[in-house]
Chain A
């Protein structure tokens, strides 16, 4: 018996000319939580796909509990005691929790005996690990945190003693993430080995025992978590030293600067009667960044949709860069653009660009009718290509190739391209949603710098983000949304995570906790 649950020796994986993993060594101690960090595209997912049998390594060996293992498919991985919680859950939404858990692990031809066993086993697991769940609930209707719990239960039901989690907190609220970490610790106490793949260093420091760092397909460091720091890990990930940037303003905000966004009692009711926005009032001055915080799905998206002219509000009004907008008199997005109001949407793949378009075409979106791009009904492709190239150079989009399909760029580079397109117009008002979601550290730095430069140039910026760190670093004032309402506002100086966290749960006004 070795002390390692899992060992990789010299794993190399190539896709054509690209080497995704190069000569990787990794040893994961039994009964520990082992973190693997790296930027997007560093090869984390490839490595885990090799472990779970999606890919075969070109070179190298895998040892599980000291014995060499051949993993040719999910079946082999499951048999070897490896369970995986994928970033995008592998669940059938229309199935009950019970059906999802037994799928593929049924030993009998009829369903009934299988589900009966699973029901008993799940009750036991719920007790042992604190993983309680309604087994008859329809999976697709559960909150994401509970869906993730189903994935963990699936792995445990298959007797996994090595559990791999791929970016597990990306979709969770801070509270759900805490709960997940409690579960992971209790798994560890009972001897389960956990591998946590993430790019959030805070989580690594909080829960892991050991950590390995991947950069450009290679393992660059192994550390005991207690002997390292976030600063060191970040530098190992990026491969250069990072300076903690201070984005606070050099000159105080001009209190008399004109108000560029002035929102009064704005409401948006859905056809089913739900209030996505409910009596929202806010002002943003020129040269100011207003941060909108909140747990995802509390009306921030609706706010962006209304202010950018995509959706008409059902009540209230707002004045944006001098144009008054009311439910029956709404400027559409192209008019907004003409008014020098630009929008970097939250969902870049749905609203920001078109995946099948080339980068040049995506960089034109919204301005395809502009005179300089047109000649007698034809697009001036050479001008568009030159524009794209200059945008790419200005924002460090890689590779600098306007003819490449938008989908072929990494998330960070897609985001930089969209930002370049919108900022290039030097707008007076900028609406930004989740500018750094799924973006790696290097790109985050650049995006933050550019937003602050816009602020200093006198642009009014409304910044919606679920990353509290980001909002606290950039915003002059922060408002918190909860169920379509603004439930609190704090100035940058008074902002701390605890207060904001309470506001996000709408618990800050309750003097004493009420037990129901």
Chain B
């Protein structure tokens, strides 16, 4: 394998690994922009992954699986909203509770329903989202670099990967170009201003967490029905938190958040590639060291390399109307 195609393989893997991060980051962005801290991205993804895995195994349809993943994730999002918006609970505690709930419930239900130690049955055929070959790959195959790049990196992913990038564009458009986006940004900065303008703070925030639920549901579905072929216990493995870190890196803006996700995905892809490879002067790098890279990078970058991350001003503060 020549250098170019191995780079293409890494980029190809980057897209695959980044997809759930990007979807989860956009989910988190909606919630956080509305002023609701969402550490329960992790739990929503996990629950959605399980629901999708189970539905796919039972129905044999990836699309039904997607529907189930979204429904379960939205329900958890509304639960979070009920605790934080209606009852003004602590947003971190509520998020944590949802994570613990998802982590326990998926395993318990998995064992009860499928008797495979918490896994769902292995999926095949239409029960999974399978790679799509984009048109023009053949036509471009003669062109140097562009041709192989198109064929190896751009083409050949499943529909959810392309969806993730469409979601970034959609998020950006909603946040900056629509009335809802304006109100969303306002409610995270100064809910009192929104209230005095005659708008309902809780309705806006519920809307935001519901959208958050939809995107987190797609992310979870991707994990069990596209990237893998079944649900495995704790399969999110901290990706919800990484996505949240990406939102902060991106200073709560869609495009920079997506780039942060791609960077994490790239490091992950490199880590897989570097397993067992001898590097000059260093020797064989322990896999664990490379796998730790994204997390080390998170700490280093958050410690000051990205400049001050200014959060929406009202984030984490329940809105109390009575003064």
Q: Does any Cβ of A come within 8 Å of B177's Cβ?
A: yes
Most buried by B among A86, A90, A92, A105: A92
With A90-B190, A95-B185, A95-B186 as contacts: A110 and B177 at CB distance below 8 Å: yes
Q: Is the Cβ of B198 less than 8 Å from the Cβ of A93?
A: no
Partner of B177, one of A93, A102, A112: A112
Find out whether the CB atom of A90 lies under 8 angstroms from the CB atom of B196.
Answer: yes
What string of 1s and 0s marks CB contacts (under 8 Å) between B180-192 and chain A?
1111011001101
8 Å CB contacts to A: which residues of B162-196? 176-183, 185-186, 189-190, 192-196
Say if the beta carbon of B116 comes within 8 Å of chain A.
no
Given that A74-B196, A103-B193 are known contacts, is A111 also in contact with B179, CB under 8 Å in the complex? yes
Query: Which residues of A69-85 have CB atoms within 8 Å of chain B's CB atoms?
Result: 73-75, 77-78, 84
Interface residues of A in 45-73 (CB under 8 A from B): 49, 52, 54, 73
In Å, the complex CA distance between A357 and B199 comes to 36
Assess whether B189 is in contact with A86, with CB atoms less than 8 Å apart. Answer: no
Is the CB–CB distance between A93 and B182 below 8 Å? no
Chain B: interface residue total (CB-CB under 8 A): 24
B197 contacts which of A93, A103, A108 (Cβ < 8 Å)? Answer: A103
- B178-A90 in contact (CB<8A): no
Instruction: Please name the 5 residue pairs, one residue from A and one from B, whose CB atoms are nearest each other, closest first.
Output: A104-B197, A75-B198, A90-B193, A74-B198, A90-B196
B87 at the A interface (CB under 8 A): no
CB–CB A54/B198 < 8 A? no
Q: Do A114 and B179 touch across chains, with their CB atoms under 8 A apart?
A: yes
Q: Tell yes or no: A116 within 8 A of B by CB.
A: no
Q: Are A111 and B190 in contact (CB under 8 A)?
A: no
- Give the number of residue pairs across the A-B interface with Cβ within 8 Å: 72
Chain A 25-62 interface 0/1 with B at a Cβ cutoff of 8 Å (1 = within): 00000000000000000000000010010100000000
Chain B residue numbers with a CB within 8 Å of A94 are 185, 189, 313
List residues of chain B with CB within 8 A of the CB of A102. Answer: 182
Q: Is the CB of A54 within 8 A of B323?
A: yes
The chain B residue sitting closest to A84, CB to CB, is: B196
Report which residue of B177, B180, B196, B198 has the largest number of chain A beta carbons within 10 angstroms of its beta carbon. Answer: B196
Question: Does residue B321 face the partner (Cβ distance < 8 Å to A)?
Answer: yes
- How far is B323's CA from A84's CA once the two chains are assembled, in angstroms? 16
CA distance A73 to B322 in the complex (A): 12
Given A74-B196, A109-B180: 9 more A-B contacts, CB < 8 Å: A54-B322, A74-B197, A78-B198, A90-B197, A92-B189, A92-B193, A94-B313, A103-B182, A104-B194
Contact B199 A104 (CB under 8 A): yes
Please indicate the chain B residues that have their CB under 8 angstroms from the CB of A77 in the complex.
198
A52 to B197, CA, bound (A): 11
Q: Which residues of A contact B185 (CB under 8 A)?
A: 92, 94-95
CB proximity to A under 8 Å, residues B17-62: none
Q: Which of B180, B189, B197 has the most CB of A within 10 A?
A: B197
Closest A residue to B312 by CB, please name it: A94
Give complex CA distance A70, B313 in Å: 33
Which residues in window 304-323 of B have CB below 8 A to A? 313, 321-323
Size of the A side of the interface (Cβ < 8 Å), in residues, is 30
Mind listing 5 A-B residue pairs with CB under 8 Å? A54-B323, A75-B198, A95-B189, A103-B182, A103-B199
Residue in contact with A103 in the complex, picked from B176, B178, B183, B192, CB distance below 8 Å:
B183
Report Cα–Cα, A54/B192, bound state, in Å. Answer: 11
Query: Are the C-beta atoms of A93 and B196 separated by less than 8 Å?
Result: no
- Measured CA separation A91–B196 after assembly (Å): 10
From B179, B195, B197, give the contact of A109 (CB < 8 A): B179
Q: Given A54-B323, A91-B193, are A103 and B186 neighbors across the interface (CB < 8 Å)? A: yes
- Chain B positions near chain A (C-beta within 8 angstroms): 176-183, 185-186, 189-190, 192-199, 313, 321-323
Tell me, yes or no, whether A456 is within 8 Å of chain B by CB: no
Determine if A106 is an interface residue (Cβ-Cβ < 8 Å): yes
Contact B198 A104 (CB under 8 A): yes
Instruction: Indicate if A99 sits at the interface (CB-CB under 8 A).
Output: yes
Question: What distance in Å separates the Cβ of A82 from its nearest Cβ neighbour in chain B?
Answer: 11
Q: Residue on A with the closest CB to B173?
A: A110
Please give the distance in Å from B317's CB to the nearest CB on chain A: 15
A86-B196 in contact (CB<8A) = yes
CB neighbours (8 Å) of B189 from chain A are 92-95
Q: Are A92 and B190 in contact (CB under 8 A)?
A: yes
Taken residue by residue from 133 to 164, chain A's Cβ proximity to chain B (1 for < 8 Å, 0 otherwise) reads as: 00000000000000000000010000000000
Expressed in whole angstroms, the minimum distance between the Cβ of A41 and any Cβ of chain B is 14
Docked-complex contact B178 and A109, CB < 8 angstroms: yes
Chain A residue nearest in CB terms to B183: A103
Residues of B within 8 A of A99 (CB): 182, 186
A 93-132 binary contact with B (CB < 8 Å = 1; else 0): 1110001101111101111101000000000000000000
Q: How far, in whole Å, are A77 and B183 apart by their CA atoms in the complex?
A: 20
Measured CB to CB, the closest approach of chain B to A235, in angstroms, equals 30
- Which one of B178, B179, B183, B195 has the greatest number of beta carbons of chain A within 10 Å? B179
**In the complex, what residue of chain A is closest to B193 when comparing beta carbons?**
A90
Cα separation A49 to B177 with both chains bound (whole Å): 33
Q: How far is the CB of B176 from chain A (nearest CB, A)?
A: 8
B192 to A: closest C-beta gap in Å: 6
A54 and B193 form a contact (CB under 8 A) = no
- Chain B residue, CB-CB nearest to A94: B189
- Asked whether A54 lies within 8 Å of B321 as measured between CB atoms, the reply is yes
B192 with A104: CB separation less than 8 A: no
Question: Whole-angstrom distance between the alpha carbons of A247 and B234 in the complex?
Answer: 76
Q: Which of A74, A90, A111, A154 contacts B182 (CB 8 A)?
A: A111
> Closest CB of chain A to B140's CB: distance in Å?
36
Question: Chain A contacts of B321 at CB under 8 A?
Answer: 54
A74 to B195, CA, bound (A): 7
Q: Are B177 and A111 in contact (CB under 8 A)?
A: yes
Cα distance A154–B193 in the bound complex, in angstroms = 11
Given A86-B196, A103-B186, A104-B194: A93 and B313 interface contact (C-beta under 8 Å):
yes
Nearest A residue to B176 via CB reads A111
Mark each residue of chain A from 261 to 295: 1 if its CB lies under 8 Å from any CB of chain B, else 0.
00000000000000000000000000000000000
Q: Is the CB of A90 within 8 A of B179?
A: no
Given contacts A90-B197, A92-B186, contact A111 B181 (CB under 8 A): yes
Find chain A residues with CB under 8 A from B180 CB: 109
Asked if B198 contacts A110 (CB within 8 A), the reply is no
| Complex interface: chain B residues within 8 A of A109 (CB) | 178-180
B179 touches A106 (CB 8 A): yes
CA distance A93 to B195 in the complex (A): 15
Q: Pick from B179, B181, B196, B199: contact of A108, CB below 8 A.
A: B179
Given A103-B183, A111-B179, CB of A90 within 8 Å of CB of B192: yes
Q: Are A111 and B197 in contact (CB under 8 A)?
A: no
Q: In the complex, what distance in Å separates the CA atom of A109 from the CA atom of B186?
A: 16
Q: Which one of A78, A86, A104 has the highest number of Cβ atoms from chain B below 10 Å of its Cβ? A: A104
Task: Report A-chain residues with C-beta under 8 Å of the C-beta of B183.
Answer: 103-104
Expressed in whole angstroms, the Cα–Cα distance for A108 and B193 within the complex equals 20
Which residue from chain A places its CB closest to the CB of B189 in the assembled complex?
Answer: A92
Which residue of B is nearest A45, CB measured?
A: B323
Q: Decide: A91 near B199, CB < 8 A? Known: A108-B179, A110-B179, A111-B177.
A: no
A154 to B216, CA, bound (A): 37
Residues in chain A near residue B186, CB distance under 8 A: 92, 95, 99, 103
